[in-house]
Structure 1
Amino acid sequence: MDKNFNIPSNAILLPKTTDQSLLAQYYSMADVFVICSKSENFPTTCVEAQCCGTPVVGFDTGGTKETSLISESDFVPYGDLEGLKGKIKEKLNSRYPDLANQAQNEYSSATMARRYMEEYDKNGRKERVLLIDVNCKNSSTGKIVYDLYKNIRADGREAAVCYGRGPKIIEENIYKFGIDAETYLHAGLSRITGYNGCFSYFSTLRLINFIENYKPDIIHIHELHAYFVNTKMLLSYIKEKDIPVIWTFHCEYMYTGKCGYAYECNGFMDKCGNCPAVKEYPKSLWLDQTAKMLQEKKDTLKDLNFSIVTPSKWLRDRVGMSFLKNVEMRVIHNGINTSIFRYVDANLLRQELGISNENKVILALAPNIMSERKGGEWIIKLSGLLKDENITFVLVGES
């Protein structure tokens, strides 16, 4: 994407923030939330917006439209800006007084946790649950994991979180096993060798030692990419101990050679190789090892005692096209902290941003929003189509 984009007079570009209370103000200030990502599984931003009472429109990519509690028809084909303009105008002329209540009932972290605990307990109640992810308390999956941790404990069970990256969290049974220096080394070796998920020996050993001592009844895995764990080493140990696993796929990484989002490529249905995204995350500078990595995933996941959860039907169907098509699967929507993401008074924020009281607000929010995948450039073009309207576009998430 051209980094020399011009911000039109009816648009405001703001930096990324991790302040969830501020995010709730952004959502509450908006009249419509728009998402133009190239691909998403089940974007949390759409859920957060609706919990604050703001309707969602956007491009129909991945499982994005499944987030809508109003209508999936509010999502148009990728790149159809005229269609998206029409959806925005339609939403600006409509009212949805019960949207926030509906969204908070459907998408609360408590609802999500209850559904997961039903999944854990299919063969008897599980009293000791271990959650594994790249993050804890931050990023979309890290917040999901932390909310699950709290809700599982509130149900009278033991819960622990093991995570690989981010700040150290001092709470009971929350353990950062990833060694930062080894994570950086893993990332560098991945770029040089073309392999990913096969380094981080000492970090993975720390994780295995925690599991050995904690003795979970079930392990709930989330994301294992991002250069912090040796996947084969971890899963070989879990298979040896025959610990049941629930695995939430938040992206496509575990059934492709390396891609989190395969887009229009269906190479994973066969054997990968000749990867069109070899230099994209998790990137390789030269070598394409995707065929070997896909075969290793097939070998490693063979005979693992696990079931798969996806947050969207779209991703479930994508998994069903892969070598994992015969694994038991269930859709459980992502949940959020509805004590934070609910309608709040955002008049002061509107004043601070200099937005006229006569103007409607269209919000787009994503980390690294001006990247090609997050689609900020589409929002800028969209603002140009509506430059003669009393509308202000607010884009949050510039790096």
Structure 2
Amino acid sequence: MNNNTLILPKITNQNLLAQYYSMADVFAICSKRENFPTTCIEAQCCGTPVVGFDTGGTKETSVYSENDFVPHGDVGSLKNRIAGILARDTSDVASKAYEAYSKDNMAKRYLEEYDIDGKKQRILLLDVNCKFSSTGKIVYDLFNYLKKEGREVTICYGRGELIKEDGIFKFGLDLETKIHAGLARLTGYNGCFSPFSTKRLIRYIENFKPDIIHIHELHAYFVNIKPLIKYIKKRNIKVVSTFHCEYMYTGKCGYAYTCDKYRRVCGKCPAVHEYPKSLFFDKTKQMFLLKKKLFKDLDMRIVTPSQWLADRIKTSFLKDKPIRVIHNGIDTDIFHPVNASKLREELKIPSDYKIVLAVAPDIMNDRKGGQWILKLAEMMKGKKYFFILIGADEKKAIC
């Protein structure tokens, strides 16, 4: 603990995380760019209102007002927003969030999207993760809902722990993923160096024979995009693709920020050394043109969690594809208001202090904005506020 600030590593125990959300008086998000951050939804379902920087689709998560979000880097205005929201009656935040963001509401809307041109009995969900991370949790929630609806459903995922559960298949090979990441950094190409994992995935799809494939994330060094999409087109399999970031229509970037080269053609990338980074070569033009060719005639319907991202897609080469906004949903059996008084006592936070919470993976990196929270905490020293940041690298955590 450091004065008015506590920095913690990532918390994988979801029930414990719900206690932190419930204990907080306000949740602050200072990311440089987000599509529709799950943390904001989780916080509100636990009864905690949100404020933050107006970046991407972040402000769309609020069940109250988009005016609670301020320009990126404006810590002074953020301080005022925190004071303002603490002065309001926000006792109904959890009930509003349940209505908007339950996992069942999300799943119902996806089922409508699958069946838009006829009932789909066999559904394959594809993502980098399963059960864990924001997209992994979404995929697993969809999986369980679809089973209850009597659909034949399976998850194929590329990275993370091996999950031994019927209908879940980890096709990614961990060693190949590491090789893929290394070669991507050396060559500038990404989504090109997992041949064996990709063959395992295609073989599984061939045997399962899905009526529709629901694609989530395809970056993160676990699958070869070209042979996968070519196979899907060859088999005339319908696709719903949820864009959780901008990777699918840029040369490589998950977040293009102020760069608008994707509207024409990527190349001479200003973020070539950022994730998925290249150490030497800029191949963003080649990757952009490859994606444009692959996706142009793919039978694909696009879903975005935010209107902000939907509007961005409409300025890309995918502008003619059907696009629908479906907000992310979460497990409200876990994320709901809970009694966190014992946790507060363990942390020795005075009862008359207001708690400001921030949660993000690798929260201290530039995109996630942990440094802005620390700056805010420094500004508010001497006042009855306590700041908790969750998601720091183990070495940077101050427990």
TM above 0.5, yes or no, is: yes
Q: Is the 8 A contact 2:154 2:167 kept in 1?
A: yes
Q: Indicate the percent of aligned positions where both proteins have the same amino acid.
A: 62
Partners of 1:60 and 1:302 lie apart in 2 by: 32
Match of 1:266 among 251, 260, 267: 260
Task: Give the structure-1-normalised TM-score.
Answer: 0.97
Instruction: Confirm or deny that 1:292 pairs with 2:281.
Output: no
Partner of 1:396: 390
Partner of 1:151: 145
Match of 2:361 among 348, 367, 373: 367
Provide Cα deviations, 1:178-203, integer angstroms capped at 9, x if missing partner. Answer: 01111111111101111001121110
Instruction: Confirm or deny that 1:245 pairs with 2:239.
Output: yes
* CA positional deviation for 1:273: 0.8
Provide Cα deviations, 1:194-249, integer angstroms capped at 9, x if missing partner. Answer: 10011211100100010111011110000000000000000000000000000000
Letter in 1 for 2:283: Q
Give the alignment of 1:36-115 within 5 angstroms.
36-115=30-109
Match of 1:277 among 230, 254, 271: 271
Consecutive unaligned residues in structure 1, runs of 5 or more:
1-6
Q: Is the 8 A contact 1:8 1:380 kept in 2?
A: no
Give the alignment of 1:1-399 within 5 angstroms.
9-399=3-393
Moved over 4 A (4+): none
3-state SS of 1:381 partner: helix
* CA positional deviation for 1:387: 1.2
Letter in 2 for 1:250: H
Partners of 1:102 and 1:302 lie apart in 2 by: 39
Tell me which moved more, 218-227 or 102-111.
102-111
Tell me which moved more, 39-48 or 99-108.
99-108
Letter in 2 for 1:110: D
Letter in 2 for 1:331: V
* CA positional deviation for 1:302: 2.0
Consecutive unaligned residues in structure 2, runs of 5 or more:
394-399
3-state SS of 1:246 partner: strand
Partners of 1:338 and 1:16 lie apart in 2 by: 20
Partners of 1:73 and 1:13 lie apart in 2 by: 28
Q: Is the 8 A contact 2:296 2:318 kept in 1?
A: no
Letter in 2 for 1:81: V
Letter in 2 for 1:34: A
Provide Cα deviations, 1:135-193, integer angstroms capped at 9, x if missing partner. Answer: 00001000000000000111111110000000111111100000111111111110111
Partners of 2:108 and 2:215 lie apart in 1 by: 17
Task: Give the structure-2-normalised TM-score.
Answer: 0.97
Partners of 2:110 and 2:387 lie apart in 1 by: 37
Q: Is the 8 A contact 1:8 1:384 kept in 2?
A: no
